[in-house]
Amino acid sequence: MGCDRCRAEHAAASACVGSQEPVTGEGLEGTRLGALTLLRRLGAGAVGTVYLAEGGGSRFAVRVLHPHLAAHPALLARFYAEARAMQALQHPNLVRVLHAARTAAGHHCLVMEHVEGELLKDLRQVLSPGAAVDLLGQALEGLAAAHARGLVHRDLRPEQLLLQPRVGGWRVKLLDLGMAAVLAEAFTAEELAAGTAGGNPAYLAPEQAAQGRAVDARADLYALGVIGYQLVTGRAPFSPSQVRSRGRGLQAPPPHLLDARVPEALSQVLLRALAASPGDRFSSASEFRGALGAALRTGLAAGLRAAPGTGSAYAPLAEAPPPSQPAPAGLSARAALRVGFAPVDVQVQDVTPAGLYVKHAGALPPLASRLALQLRVHGQLLGTWAHVVRHVCAEEARAWGVAPGFFVHFDDPAGELALRLQQALAAAPPAPAAQATQPFDPELASLLARAAGGSTDPYALLELAPHAGFAEVQRRADSAVKRLSESLARPLPTQQVQALQAALERVEHARQALGDPTARAGLDAVRGNVAGVARCLAAGIPLDTLERLRHAFLQARPGVEARAAALWRAGEALEQQASRGGGLYDAALARYAEALALDPLNAQLQRHYWGLQRLTRGVAGSPERH
C-alpha cells in the first residue's frame, strides 16, 4: 500500500521520501553536479527550474525537477526513462540531452546542451510565407526524428521553439521534448481527461481535451499547424471561445483570405494540419514538411515571393501593400482601442468581409491584441471582435502618403457582418432587417442588472461558485457573450447598445480574471478563496510565478507568514498524534485551514491539506483534484 503520507514504500521508522527532498528547486546557484557548477537561473516551468551551468570550459543547461514532483515515484521513474530515450536522440533541430543525475542534496537534474537564441514567442511580426515555411520545416525535421523513436512532444507552442542565429537566418531547436509526459504522471486519469495537466488550450489538438482519446504524433502536427497559421497571419486560427468548440467541425478562416501574400496552396496545407480529426491531418511530420515545400513552390510559380535572401526572416514593409481603398458609402465605425475603454468613432478603409484598416494617429494597440468593433452598415449596427494583425507606423505612413493606423481581422469572417459588408462593397442595399419583437430573456436581464450594478466581483457577474473549475468559467462566459452578442446584432437605441457593450466588456474582464490560473490565483488569495487557489495550483502555475505572487501577497500583510507557520506546526503536531491513534485529524485539518486562510498561496500547505482531506474524509471532489 505504501506510506499514508508520501505514498511511497519505505521502512516505518525511516523518513518519508518527500521529506528527503529539498523544499524548493530555487536558489541553487553554486550547487555542484559532478563536474558542473550551477551559475544562474534561466527560467522555470511546470516541471522544473532551468539553470545555466559550467564545467570543463563549456556551458550547459540543467533542468532541476521540482521537489514536489520528485516525490511521485511514478513521475520520477518517467523522468529518468524520458531522459534515457532523449539521450539516444541526436538531431540538429532538437536540444541535445546529455544525461540525468541526482545531486548530493537530492535534486534530480537533466543536463542538456545550452543554446543561445530567442524564443519564437518573442517574434511578434508576421513572417513572409518563405520564412514561415523554413521555420516550420526545421521544426518538423526535429519532430520526425523524435516520432521515429516513439517520442511525442504533446505541448508544442511558441515558447518551446528556440531560434538560434546562424548565417542567413535561424536554426530552430525544439525544447522540452518528453516533459509533458513526465508531468502527466503527477495526475490521475480523471485529471488528465479533464485537461488538468494540459498545455495552452490554443495549441492542444481536440483529442487531447477529449476523455479517453489516445494521443499520437498527429497532435504535434496540429500544434505546428496553429503556430504556422499565426506566423503567416498574425492571429490565432480560433478565438478563445472557438477553441473550446473546435472539436465540432469548426473551420478556421483560410489564411490566404486574411493576407493576400499567403499562397492558397500554403493556406490549404495549414488548414489540413488543423483538422479536428487526426485522420484528416497529415500522417507524419515528413508528409507535412513535404506538403509545405510543395505549396511554397506552387506559390512562387504563381508569382508570389518568398522571404528575400538578406538574412532576415521578416517580410520587408515593401511586401505589404499600403492601405488604399476608401470605405464604402453607408459605413461608419467605432472601436474600443484598449481593454476597458469606451468605443470611439474611427475612420476606416480597405474594408473586406475578413477585416479592415483603422486610421489612428495615437498609440497603436499591440499586435495580436483583441478589440471590440461596432460597424454601422446602411443604418444597421453590428458588433464584432477583431485582432490587430499589422501596424502602419507614422514613418511608413509618411512614405506611402497615407494615414497611420492598423489592420484588423474579424474573429468571425463568415457571420452576418461579412454578409452585410459584402452587400455594402457590392453597392447593393441590404435586405431590410426583420423587426420581430425580441422575447423577454430573464437570464439576459439578470446579467445586465449585475453588470450595471457596478460589482467588481467576477464570480458574482458569471454566477460562479468559489471553487468553480476553469471549464465552467469558460462555459458561463461563453453563454453570457452569446446572449449579449445576439442582442447587439439587433437594431437598438444607442443607450441600450452602450449598456450591452459595457456588459460585454465586463464579461470579458471576468473571463480574463478567472480563466487564467495566475490571474485567478492572485484574485482568490486576496478574497480568501482557498478552494479557488487550489484550482489554480492544479492547473499548473510555474513555481517562480507562484513565488512572486506569494511574496507580494505576504509583503502586503506583515506578520501573516509567521502566524500561518505557527498554525501549520500546530496542525502537524495534531496530525502526528492522530497517526498514533489520537483521533485528532479533524483538529489538524482545522489548524491547516486557518493557516491557509492566512497564507493561501503556500503550495506545499495546499497540497498537504487537500491530501489529508482525501485520506481522512474521502473528499474526492476537492478542488485540487478536479
Q: Are residues 404 and 306 in the same domain?
A: no
Residue 303 domain-assigned?
Answer: yes
Q: pTM here?
A: 0.51
DSSP bridge partners of 346: 333
What backbone phi and psi angles, to 5 degrees, belong to 356?
-165, 175
d(CA 445, CA 615): 44
- For the chain, the domain total comes to 5
Q: Are residues 369 and 495 in the same domain?
A: no
**pLDDT tens digits along 345-373:** 999 998 887 788 999 988 888 766 678 88
Q: Which residue has the cell 488538468?
A: 196
Q: Are residues 125 and 250 in the same domain?
A: yes
Q: In what order do the strands lie in the sheet with 161-166?
A: 118-119, 161-166, 169-174
- Find the radius of gyration of the CA atoms of the chain: 27
How many alpha carbons fall within 13 Å on the CB side of residue 441?
A: 15
d(CA 476, CA 463): 8
Q: Are residues 221 and 355 in the same domain?
A: no
Question: What is 201-238 written as a DSSP string?
Answer: GGGS-GGGSSTT----THHHHHHHHHHHHHHHHSS-SS
Q: Which residue has the cell 479592415?
A: 356
pLDDT of residue 17: 36
d(CA 307, CA 418): 31
pLDDT of residue 226: 94
Question: Are residues 354 and 413 in contact, defined by beta-carbon separation less than 8 angstroms?
Answer: yes
Residue 9 domain-assigned?
Answer: no
- The residue from 477, 492, 515 where one domain ends is 515
Q: Which residue has the cell 510543395?
A: 294
d(CA 551, CA 556): 9
Q: What is the domain range of residue 526?
A: 520-617
Q: Are residues 165 and 301 in the same domain?
A: yes
DSSP bridge partners of 407: 357, 390
Residue 581 domain-assigned?
Answer: yes
pLDDT of residue 167: 61
Which cell numbers in the block locate residue 399? 512614405
Cβ-Cβ contacts under 8 Å for 530 (sequence gap 6 or more):
524, 593, 596, 597, 600, 606
**Segments of the chain scoring below 50 in pLDDT:** 1-24, 186-197, 212, 303-319, 428-441, 453-455, 619-622, 624-626
Q: H or E segment at 388?
A: strand 380-392
Q: How far is CA 11 from CA 14, 230, 471, in A?
A: 5, 54, 42
Q: Are residues 341 and 397 in the same domain?
A: yes
- The residue from 486, 515, 544 where one domain ends is 515
pLDDT of residue 183: 56
Q: Are residues 68 and 196 in the same domain?
A: no
Question: Are residues 153 and 160 in contact, defined by beta-carbon separation less than 8 angstroms?
Answer: yes
Give the count of beta carbons closer than 10 Å to the beta carbon of residue 68.
Answer: 18
Q: Which residues are catalytic?
A: 155
**Hey, what amino acid is at 169?**
G
Q: Are residues 168 and 273 in the same domain?
A: yes
CATH of the domain at 331: 2.40.10.430
**DSSP classification of residue 442:** H
Residue 625 domain-assigned?
Answer: no
CATH of the domain at 39: 3.30.200.20
d(CA 26, CA 420): 57
Q: Which residue has the cell 511514478?
A: 74
Q: Are residues 124 and 267 in the same domain?
A: yes
Residue 2 domain-assigned?
Answer: no
**DSSP classification of residue 73:** H
Q: How many residues would you count in the chain?
A: 626
DSSP bridge partners of 345: 334
- The residue from 455, 484, 515 where one domain ends is 515
DSSP 3-state of 265: helix
Residue 70 domain-assigned?
Answer: yes
Q: Which of 193, 182, 199 is nearest to 47 (CA)?
A: 182
pLDDT of residue 445: 55
CATH of the domain at 242: 1.10.510.10
What backbone phi and psi angles, to 5 degrees, belong to 81?
-65, -45
Q: Are residues 511 and 524 in the same domain?
A: no
Residue 623 domain-assigned?
Answer: no
Q: Are residues 345 and 453 in the same domain?
A: no
Question: Are residues 24 and 543 in contact, defined by beta-carbon separation less than 8 angstroms?
Answer: yes
Q: Are residues 90 and 201 in the same domain?
A: no
Question: What is 502-540 written as a DSSP string?
Answer: HHHHHHHHHHHHHHSHHHHHHHHHHHT-HHHHHHHHHH-
**pLDDT tens digits along 460-505:** 778 888 888 888 888 888 887 777 777 766 666 666 666 777 777 7
Residue 548 domain-assigned?
Answer: yes
pLDDT of residue 83: 81
pLDDT of residue 106: 83
Which cell numbers in the block locate residue 224? 505546428
